[in-house]
Amino acid sequence: MITEKMLYWNSWHQLTVEEQQRVFEQILRYFVNPLWNVENIKYLETPSQNGPLRTFEVNLNGQTYFFMPGQEAGTVVAELDDVAPFLMSVQALPSSLKLIGQLNLVNGERHGNQKLLKKHDREITAYLERSSDSLNPFASDNDLFGNHDLVFIPANNGVMHIFVQQSLKFAGLRRELRRDGANLPTRNQWEYAALANWSGSFAAIDDTQSQHQLGLGMLFDTLPTLEMLDDPAVAKENPFGAGFGLFGGTGTQVKSEDDLLGLIGDVSETDFSHGPLSHFAVYRSVFNVQLD
């Protein structure tokens, strides 16, 4: 039987991996839309100064999420107080695109939102029938492949993310997320996820790479994007965005750990409450995991 106490680090880290997986599977049953495809549950272990931090990730309707157990009184991130547990998407998605699934270019299999994949079956099939050159998943650039209402973006070798193009305002995006039981992260959630195991994250940063990880699973590219929070008046700048001056690019070179911590802790004042969202507005979705 799952209890609230098990979902916080003080108790979570005392469970065996097998017990943690059973708890995680119950979380998915209780808090994720029952119509969603749940695939590829994966155990994650991240080294830290105080021993390994263990959690799980999972593919939900074609998008990868990781579990952040809650903390009490700065257990994991000393700068923050209590934070309730949640699931968070690994990657931030453009607000102009809705992820509906993944396409395997080798065998044609499609995983994700089966209702929407079926609706766009003709376009997906046409995309598969394009020349082998345009389907090459090992291409050196990250160009978007468009096909009418769909956009295909490389995920990994032989697999493409499938997106539907959309034009939404902030309220519409939040309404869509809430319809599925999800939400935009709060500032506390975002910073908690980014700062967990900070020393390990900072030590692993390689400024020659185009993708970076913070915490237990937050991935960042190097585009100058703004991540939306649940408050439309503030946003988080991508700390690895070239336009914001980190690790090369057009801005000022960041030379210290304190500089990066400052970028992660700051917020940008915005006004997402009016007009369509721009292409530089991106978002992560979260599922709050709180028992009544």
Q: Domain range holding 19?
A: 4-94+169-288
CB 211 within 8 A of CB 219: yes
Non-local (6+) Cβ contacts of 88 within 8 A are: 65, 66, 68, 185, 189, 193, 217, 218, 284, 285, 286
Same domain for 160 and 35, yes or no, is: no
Same domain for 89 and 107, yes or no, is: no
CB 103 within 8 A of CB 162: yes
Residue 152 — φ and ψ, nearest 5°? -115, 125
Same domain for 178 and 266, yes or no, is: yes
**Distance (Å, whole) CA 216 – CA 68:** 8
Q: Within the chain, how many helices (H) and strands (E) appear? A: 8, 17
Two tokens at 49?
């100064």
At residue 141, the pLDDT reads 41
The conformation of residue 230, written as its DSSP 8-state character, comes to S
Per-residue pLDDT of the chain (292 residues; tens, 9 = 90+): 789 999 999 999 999 999 999 999 999 999 998 888 898 999 999 888 778 899 999 999 888 999 999 999 888 898 899 999 999 999 999 888 888 888 888 888 888 888 889 999 988 888 887 734 454 554 444 444 545 688 888 776 678 889 888 888 999 999 989 988 999 999 999 999 999 999 888 888 887 788 899 999 999 988 889 999 999 999 999 998 875 444 444 444 445 788 889 989 999 999 898 888 887 899 999 999 987 6
Two tokens at 120?
């766009």
CB 249 within 8 A of CB 241: yes
At residue 89, the pLDDT reads 97
At residue 148, the pLDDT reads 60
Q: What CATH number corresponds to the domain at position 113?
A: 3.40.1840
CB 87 within 8 A of CB 30: no
How many domains does one find in the chain? 2
The conformation of residue 145, written as its DSSP 8-state character, comes to E
Q: Which of 165, 183, 198 finishes a domain?
A: 165
Same domain for 80 and 19, yes or no, is: yes
Same domain for 108 and 18, yes or no, is: no
Same domain for 186 and 109, yes or no, is: no
Length, in residues, of the chain: 292
Q: Which of 105, 134, 165 finishes a domain?
A: 165
At residue 134, the pLDDT reads 52
CB 32 within 8 A of CB 60: yes
**Distance (Å, whole) CA 80 – CA 94:** 28
CB 70 within 8 A of CB 84: yes
Q: SS3 for 286?
A: strand
Same domain for 129 and 271, yes or no, is: no
Same domain for 63 and 123, yes or no, is: no
Q: Does this model's pTM top 0.85?
A: no
Torsion of CA 261, 266, 272, 277, to 10 degrees: -30
The conformation of residue 202, written as its DSSP 8-state character, comes to H
Amino acid identity at 84: A
Same domain for 251 and 137, yes or no, is: no
The conformation of residue 206, written as its DSSP 8-state character, comes to -
Amino acid identity at 25: E
Same domain for 85 and 195, yes or no, is: yes
Non-local (6+) Cβ contacts of 19 within 8 A are: none
Same domain for 176 and 250, yes or no, is: yes
Q: How many CA atoms lie within 13 A of 256 on its CB side?
A: 3
At residue 207, the pLDDT reads 78
Same domain for 247 and 119, yes or no, is: no
Q: Which of 123, 147, 165 finishes a domain?
A: 165
